[in-house]
Amino acid sequence: MPEQSPTPKKRRRGRLFRFSAALVVLLAVAGYLVVQYVTGGRGGPGCKVVSGKDDGQEYEFTQEQAMNAATIAAVGTGRGMPARAVTIALATALQESQLVNIQHGDLDSLGLFQQRPSQGWGTKKQILDPTYAAGVFYEHLAKVNDYQKLPLTVAAQRVQRSGYPEAYAKHEPDAALLSAALTGQAAATLTCQGLPDTTVTATGPDAVRAALVRDFGRTILKKTGAEVTGDSTSKDTSRTKSTSKSTPAPGASATGGSSTVTLPVRSGSTKTGWQLAHWAVANSSVLHIERVSYAGREWAAGSADDPWHSTGTKAAGGVRIVTERQAGQ
């Protein structure tokens, strides 16, 4: 008996099913592309910050976002801005760019804070420098009367003049967690996977010192009196005179290994110590940092399941940053 051909009703149902399936796939692809467009295709969360108050609050984000957040915090404290200013800046950047240094936006908006060259924020090159972008944001924020007493969304809007002023408020909880960690108010609360960025060529103690100067300012090494142990013979790209010492470390060689940058922290300055320690973790991927230790606690790359474990030793007086050296350094 020959098969009966599908009725028009069945054909319509078949077409509808195929159309629905295609639409689901299209929406999934579109969603993926949007995420890639916003984040630059730089992968999923590799870092986490938790509350220092043991209240269960946490925020997950990427290593790139962590690095940009650490820069924003370092620039703020380097300028003597209070933690509240850092929270406002981080919430603003979360809203404007999701803490990704994007090269696009509304009209000619660019960078972490979506600042516009046509509106006097600086040149395109300047705005795409996270250190500059954070600095000019703080310059404008400092001119807002009583900004520390204002609601975050009001203070941010006074600087940004956004078309969606209420949008900043939703980022305040996450910004507060980041600010507490990255200004050193909450100890051992930020951790990252720290998987090395294979596209980076500048590693070793000189790269760490240069990055410190970039974010905190040229006085940072003079204040800490950074000490380097290990074979470090490459040029100091920070161009900052410091009390750095270079001595061979056990097992160090010119063909690889690791070096340690020690940043002494004055007694009673634990907030500074934890800010530097968290900054190092946030920059661990790009600087190929293997371990960070401070105040009897240690973080190690690739140990996200056991972050900031106790070393079981007496707390040292400084932040120790162990970094992979390139062959030949």
**Element of type H or E holding 14:** helix 8-39
Q: What are phi and psi of 147, to 5 degrees?
A: -60, -30
- The residues near 279 (Cβ < 8 Å, ≥ 6 apart) are 70, 73, 74, 182, 212, 215
Q: Choose among 131, 145, 149: nearest CA to 77.
A: 131
DSSP label at residue 321: E
pTM recorded for the entire structure: 0.78
Segment 186-231, tens digit of pLDDT: 999 999 999 888 888 788 999 999 999 999 998 887 766 667 665 4
Q: How confident is the model at residue 268 (pLDDT cuts 50, 70, 90)?
A: confident
pLDDT over 70 at 44, yes or no: no
Q: Choose among 103, 323, 110: nearest CA to 211.
A: 323
Q: Are the C-beta atoms of residues 66 and 190 closer than 8 Å to each other?
A: yes
CA distance 208 to 217: 13
Over the chain, what is the mean pLDDT? 81
Q: Choose among 295, 300, 301: nearest CA to 318.
A: 295
Q: Choose among 259, 266, 220, 260: nearest CA to 243.
A: 220
Q: What is the DSSP string of 28-80?
A: HHHHHHHHHHHH-S--S--EEEE-TTSS--EEEE-HHHHHHHHHHHHHHHHTT
Which amino acid is present at 147? Y
User: Which pLDDT score is estimated for 236?
Assistant: 36
What order of strands is seen across the sheet that includes strand 58-61?
58-61, 47-50, 190-192
User: Which pLDDT score is estimated for 19?
Assistant: 53
Segment 98-115, tens digit of pLDDT: 999 999 878 899 999 999
User: Which pLDDT score is estimated for 210?
Assistant: 93
Segment 54-65, tens digit of pLDDT: 899 999 999 999
CA distance readout (Å), 3 to 6, 60, 166? 9, 57, 63
Mean pLDDT of 293-322: 86
* Among the ranges given (54-68, 147-161, 199-213, 249-263), the one the predictor scored with the smallest mean pLDDT: 249-263
Segment 164-198, tens digit of pLDDT: 888 999 999 999 999 999 999 999 999 999 988 88
With H, G, I as helix, E, B as strand and everything else as coil, classify residue 299.
strand
pLDDT over 70 at 154, yes or no: yes
Helix axes 152-160, 172-182, angle to 10 degrees: 90
Q: How confident is the model at residue 233 (pLDDT cuts 50, 70, 90)?
A: very low
pLDDT over 60 at 97, yes or no: yes
CA distance 25 to 15: 15
Which residue do the tokens 């030949």 mark? Answer: 328
**Element of type H or E holding 322:** strand 318-324
Helix axes 130-142, 152-160, angle to 10 degrees: 110
pLDDT over 80 at 256, yes or no: no
User: Which pLDDT score is estimated for 25?
Assistant: 39
**What string of H, E and C letters represents the secondary structure of 95-122?**
HHHCCCCCCCCCCCCECCCCECHHHCCC
User: Which pLDDT score is estimated for 5?
Assistant: 53
CA distance 303 to 50: 16
Q: How confident is the model at residue 247 (pLDDT cuts 50, 70, 90)?
A: very low
User: Which pLDDT score is estimated for 14?
Assistant: 56
Segment 277-299, tens digit of pLDDT: 999 999 999 999 999 999 999 99
